[in-house]
């Protein structure tokens, strides 16, 4: 366990991971709202925003683009993932060895665990190997802890989310990415369950600015150490604006209103330029 204060993917102990593995997990359909985001350069550029402390991509994108961005972006090497053409019980192929991620200069690894899937045991053992290599290579460890599959009827039930957070702690992740369980008390419980493992909220599908920022604020107040977000940033016309707002909420303890001002200020600024 490496405390976030020491981590290259944190700023003042807080984390904002921009995730961009949707091309693998969901396919190009996720880029339809903002077609420019199909081009990884667009999203690598977004990732240089100073609020973004880590950028999570699959091996292919990292090989092709990270060398040009390594001074401006911290790399979270998302080691596993699978297309949504897959019809079996939830599972994720390990597409990238942790060793090669280290060779490319990754600051942390990202790894999905589907607790409750009939592949849970197999995925946990793959996580073990990746986590132990990450320790050897001095990379951080972020777990996408998503209960799913035969054993999970409701994957946003508070008890399930708290369990997901705890799995991050028990199995040795520095950071656990979990879904927001719907209310601050439940989120606080999940953060407590994770103890020294820092919890980041998963951004989920796109919502409006205020609703999104309010939820992030609730999560932070409940004990989360940040956010891992994809579509709620890159599916917006002005992703920098929402990042300005997130920066306020996550790193500056601002109110939702202040954050909304920042979003709108950026919007105007963009208009004025």
- The answer to whether 201 and 190 have CB atoms below 8 angstroms apart is no
Burial code of 59-80, b = ≥16 C-beta within 10 A, e = fewer? Answer: bebbeebbeebeeebbbbbbbb
Residue closer to its own copies (CB basis): 21 or 209: 21
Residues annotated as catalytic (active site), given as ranges: 177
CB of 79 to its own copies, least distance (A): 9
Contacts of 146 (CB under 8 A, 6+ apart): 112, 113, 114, 115, 155, 164, 178, 179
What is the 3-state secondary structure of 99-116?
Answer: HHHHHCCCCEEEEEECCC
Q: Is 146 in the site for its own copies (CB under 8 A)?
A: no
Q: Is 211 in the site for its own copies (CB under 8 A)?
A: no
Q: Is 86 in the site for its own copies (CB under 8 A)?
A: yes
Q: Which of 5, 71, 121, 271 binds its own copies (CB under 8 A)?
A: 121
Residue closer to its own copies (CB basis): 51 or 130: 130
The answer for 195, left when phi > 0, alpha when psi is -120 to 50, beta otherwise, is left
Which residues on neighbouring strands pair with residue 142, listed in sequence order? Answer: 110, 175
Number of residues that bind its own copies (CB under 8 A): 69
Residue ranges in contact with its own copies by CB under 8 A: 1, 21, 23-24, 27-29, 31, 38-41, 58-61, 63-65, 81-83, 85-88, 91-97, 100, 115-116, 118, 120-122, 124-125, 127-128, 131-132, 135, 147, 150-152, 159-160, 162-163, 166-173, 189, 192-193, 195-197
């Amino acid at each position: 366990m490496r405390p976030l204060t020491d981590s290259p993917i944190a700023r003042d102990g807080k984390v904002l991971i921009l995730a961009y593995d949707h091309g693998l997990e969901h396919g190009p359909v996720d880029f339809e709202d903002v077609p420019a985001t199909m081009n990884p350069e667009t999203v690598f550029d977004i990732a240089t925003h100073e609020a973004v402390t880590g950028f999570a991509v699959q091996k292919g994108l990292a090989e092709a683009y990270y060398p040009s961005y390594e001074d401006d972006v911290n790399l979270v090497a998302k080691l596993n993932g699978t297309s949504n053409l897959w019809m079996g019980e939830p599972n994720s192929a390990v597409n990238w060895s942790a060793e090669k991620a280290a060779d490319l200069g990754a600051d942390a690894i990202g790894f999905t665990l589907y607790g409750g899937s009939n592949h849970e045991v197999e995925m946990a053992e793959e996580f073990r190997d990746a986590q132990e290599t990450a320790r050897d290579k001095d990379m951080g460890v972020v777990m996408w802890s998503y209960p799913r599959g035969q054993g999970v009827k409701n994957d946003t039930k508070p008890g399930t989310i708290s369990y997901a957070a705890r799995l991050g702690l028990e199995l040795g992740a520095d950071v656990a990415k979990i879904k927001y369980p719907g209310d601050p008390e439940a989120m606080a419980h999940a953060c407590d369950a994770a103890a020294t493992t820092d919890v980041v909220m998963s951004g989920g599908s796109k919502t409006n600015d205020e609703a999104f920022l309010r939820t992030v604020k609730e999560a932070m107040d409940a004990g989360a150490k940040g956010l891992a977000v994809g579509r709620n940033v890159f599916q917006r016309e002005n992703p920098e604006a929402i990042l300005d707002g997130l920066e306020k909420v996550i790193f500056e303890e601002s109110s939702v209103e202040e954050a909304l001002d920042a979003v709108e200020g950026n919007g105007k600024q963009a208009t004025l330029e």
